[in-house]
A and B are shown apart, each in its own frame.
Chain A
Amino acid sequence: MTTSATRSPVPRDHPASPAARGADGGRHRTSLFTRLFGRQPIGILLAAPYAVFIAVIFAFPIGFAVYMSFTDYYFTAPGVTVPHPFVGLDNYKTVLTDPAVLASFGHIGIFLILNVPLTVALSLGLAVALNRAVHFRTFFRAAYYVPYVTASVAVVAVWLVLFRSDGLVNQILGPLAPDPSWLVNSTWAMPMIALFVTWKQLGFFILLYLAALQNVPKELYESASVDGAGAWRSFRSVTVPGVRQATALVLLLAIVTGANLFTEPYLLTGGGGPDGASTTPVLLMYQQGIQQGKPSTASAIGVVLVILVLIVALVNRRLTERSER
């Protein structure tokens, strides 16, 4: 469209444009309208449903959670008016001095250290392999995706059977099997959850990488090959930079979903066991906010979690941006 670039169009609200002037010249009214609604007011209309969705589903709950975290709040029946006194940072002091809460953040740290690198490495490696596979490509793609779309409850039951003390894994390991067994072992409980989540979500992340791999120009591989690069060098110098945007997304999603861990410790390790070795902040939020009727402290945990996730995501973004440069 080079012609449009050579033309010198008159902006719709340009003073010289007759359409922009009203009976009194219309200059002031038009500029105020433009300032309020922009040059394309229909855009606001089109974006409004999503903006409302964001406001209702995300902004309001977050704002309300922040409010609750600074008050002594509990849920009441409609029509029951109770004071919700402002308590300053008391709820934050309570949760940040609670050993169980601190331990739960530590558990999430262990989880992320294991889960995120594993997720990136395995999903990228398998996506590259699947991208090159000639035979059974569809079968393997479906096979990796099945755990992702299967209900956690069903998959957890299989893992419980596999990793119990007399399960298949320990029978294979024989004397090398840990005692107590994996899911009731304080050392192994959190790594097992990390492994489970990595395995379960792998299919989704493989799909992301497969999509990204379609956008890596084949010419780059040919050039690398002409320059004498082997498969590993090609992978490092062409594939990894070529899917960097996808890697940033995978990292972000893995961090966010990992920080919100609930189902796995609830089901796989019997409610954060053994002896609280796999509790997570969201599990404690459920216990305190829903079961124990203390939404204020649950909200404080949630706010701290959001802040920590934002910090980690920000650091992740800075690092990926730096490597892009």
Chain B
Amino acid sequence: MRPSRPSRRYRHGVAAAVLAGAMVLTACGSSGGGSTSDAASAKGPIKIWYSNNEQEIAWGQQVVAAWNAANPNEQVTAEQIPTGKSSEDVIGAAITAGTEPCLIYNTSPAAVPGFQKQGGLIDLSSFADGTSYIETRTGELAKQYASADGHYYQMPWKSNPVMIFYNKDMFTKAGIDPTNPQLATYDEFLATAKKIVDSGAAPFAIYPAPSSEFYQSWFDFYPLFAAATGGKQLVADGKSQFNSPEGLAVANFWKQIYAEKLAGNETHTGDSFSDGTAAMAIVGPWAISVYKDKVNWGVVPVPTAGATAAEQIHTFSDAKNVGMYASCTNQGTAWDFLKFSTSQEQDGQLLTLTGQMPLRTDLPTTYADYFAANPDYKLFADQAARTVEVPNTPNSVEIWQTFRDAWTSAVIFGKSDVQQTMTDAATKIDQLASQT
């Protein structure tokens, strides 16, 4: 027996109640409190989030301990950033819910325009010494992190300038001189890559992630584009820059790599460099501690079309910065702690404990003792002065996703013409960059 249907009036009543409930809750969702002008100078306890890798946890714990010992009335509570599909998803949701901490030491520059649009970030330039502190510490590179209004909504914190790591043992097996590998130009790189694969030294010469996430182009296209253009960003002054002879040359270089199966186009589980699947990787200095006991590695700058001198080559920064978030009530303490944690002493601790490069001027001379004791990191410190950041532009993530989709189609899978695909992507990206 089939149950009887509810009456029409009953069903209409339920629908009306649901709609009314939705409207009431919708109205509730638009209201809430916000930071006040008093908050900028307010002092008191604050909470911070930092990254969840072992090295940064060690750095975070010691900096908080040092601060708390000296500031008993302004205690800092630190937590690892909650896990999610990505840190940016977690932070975005926390901003909407108003549950984010005062400071997050894992803020991606690509996400800053979105967080700013949400009203989730405090303008650091609004502090009396905000702009001067940032620009004094980071120098000319700081300008890349300023928003369209010229203000800083993020503290440039640390970079991981990406370079080409190579496996010396595999190079030797392939008959390549591991002390002076020919990797400076596209032609040299291709010839070396072919030698590696043809000799059977490794299944693939290099293996950047071929997947479609928006940020993957930061580790294949962007470093080489930065090097080819002397430090141009993907978008400048609201116009895309990649649909140029240099950009197309980079795309065609990678297309050849994939077409000749010198790089894999399948998702690889694990680290292709440390597990011996690939003889090279494009990574920053954070990886040194990971590879040190697994691979006999060397490092060179990313290739260019011509033979550019190493000391002139730019690359992608892979930076992570610090944001001060809107729900912070004790912003005075947060600003003081932010300066404390980016002081010369704490930047030295960061360098020592993580191997990542603090975004401050004169890195090699400021920490000369460290680089003398750890020469592996010296090249990265030199490279850190010539890094290119993702553009601080509206629709940043959508722009990168558009680029990645075009790259996947034309370069990784060779399904479409490189020039036409890049032209179409540039047209769409120009539209996105011009929106406010």
Contacts and interface: CB of A to CB of B under 8 A. Distances in A.
Interface of A: 55, 59-60, 63-64, 67, 74-82, 84, 100, 157, 160-161, 164-166, 180-181, 183-184, 186, 268-276, 286-288, 290-294
A129 to B, nearest CB: 32
A161 B405 contact: no
B92 A80 contact: no
Interface in B1-36: 18-19, 21-23, 25-26, 29-35
B92 A75 contact: yes
B269 interface: yes
B135 interface: no
Contact of B119 (A77, A161, A272): A77
Contact of A270 (B114, B212, B327, B397): B212
A55 B21 contact: yes
B405 A276 contact: yes
Contact of A63 (B21, B35, B405): B21
Given A76-B96, A77-B96, A81-B30, A273 B211 contact: yes
Contacts of B332: none
B408 A184 contact: no
Given A78-B32, A164-B266, A184-B266, A291 B405 contact: no
8 contacts: A64-B22, A67-B26, A78-B327, A160-B269, A181-B266, A273-B211, A273-B413, A293-B117
Interface of B: 18-19, 21-23, 25-26, 29-35, 85-86, 88-89, 92, 95-98, 114, 117-120, 203, 209-214, 265-267, 269, 326-327, 395, 397-398, 401, 405, 408-409, 412-413, 415
Q: Give the 7 A-B residue pairs with the shortest CB-CB distance, closest first.
A: A79-B34, A63-B22, A78-B32, A270-B211, A80-B119, A271-B212, A78-B98
Given A63-B19, A64-B25, A270-B212, A293 B114 contact: yes
B25 to A, nearest CB: 5
Interface centre among A60, A80, A84 (most CB of B within 10 A): A80
A55 B212 contact: no
A78 B118 contact: no
Given A78-B33, A80-B326, A291 B401 contact: yes
A76 B118 contact: yes
B271 to A, nearest CB: 14
B53 to A, nearest CB: 19
A43 to B, nearest CB: 14
B118 A80 contact: yes
Nearest to A266: B85
A75 B118 CA distance: 6
Nearest to A283: B212
A276 B212 contact: yes
A79 B35 contact: yes
Nearest to B432: A292
B216 to A, nearest CB: 9
Contacts of A84: 30
Nearest to B17: A55
Contacts of B326: 77, 79-80
A274 B404 CA distance: 12
Contact of A79 (B22, B25, B32): B32
A293 B92 contact: yes
B118 A293 contact: yes
A74 B267 CA distance: 33
A167 B405 CA distance: 27
Contacts of A286: 85
A79 to B, nearest CB: 3
Contact of B266 (A78, A183, A275, A287): A183
A270 B25 contact: no
- Among B23, B88, B118, find the residue whose CB has the most chain A CB atoms closer than 10 A: B118
